[in-house]
Amino acid sequence: MRIVVLVSGSGSNLQAVIDAVAAGTLPVTIAAVGADRPGTGGVRRAAEAGIATFEVDFRKYDERADWNRALTEAVAAHTPDYVVSSGFMRIVDQHFLDRFPNRYLNTHPALLPSFPGAHGVRDALAYGVKVTGCTVMIADAGVDTGPILAQAPVAVLPGDTEETLHERIKVEERRLLIETLTDLAAARSTVGA
Ligand code: GAR
């Protein structure tokens, strides 16, 4: 099973996937890692692991649709079975989704449908929930909407900051993402999905 991983930030969840593949515990090929801007930690981590990388810089496009088309082509060039948004902080359009139908996975640091968007951890903390967590889903054209594949709870502890809570969520998020990819790879090999 070939995956392309999209990142916007540090790529620590991507690193967990790279490590699992290297350890032989996750039977997927990371065909490429792409970013929406230059200089992300995620692309640096991929390059260090010898994985192909690409950047489709959002700021270089006047029209969002043109950026979406360029991103779609850059991803498709690596012929992925699944595309994984791992901290990719841009919404893709229908053109992209039609090219990878039901094949675009997203991870989010909250228990959707609560606290969608770019600040899932901060918003959960501000609301005062006692339990939050993470979600792995099939992404659609909305903001963190789409069918949920897996979720895990994480307790909010007294004194938590956005950073401490996010770090504990990421531990669960990495486990959940790797578990989900393992299941999808197993389903492909048994039923040719
Ligand atoms: C992850 O927690 C991911 O769920 C979140 O960004 C973080 C990326 O961390 N994504 C979203 O909030 C999407 N709405 P990383 O770059 O260290 O892997």
- Full-model pTM: 0.95
Q: Ligand 1, residues 5, 6, 8, 12: which to mutate, most atoms within 8 A of Cβ?
A: 12
Cα separation, 158 vs 168, in Å, equals 14
- DSSP codes joined into one string, 86-153: SS--S---HHHHHHSTT-EEEEESS-TTSS-STTHHHHHHHHT-SEEEEEEEE--SSSS-S-EEEEEE
- Phi, psi angle pair for 10, to nearest 5°: -70, -25
What are the structure tokens assigned to 40, written together? 């992300």
**51 CA from centroid of ligand 1 (Å):** 20
* pLDDT tens string 38-55: 999 999 999 999 999 999
Tens digits of residue pLDDT in 130-145: 999 999 999 998 889 9
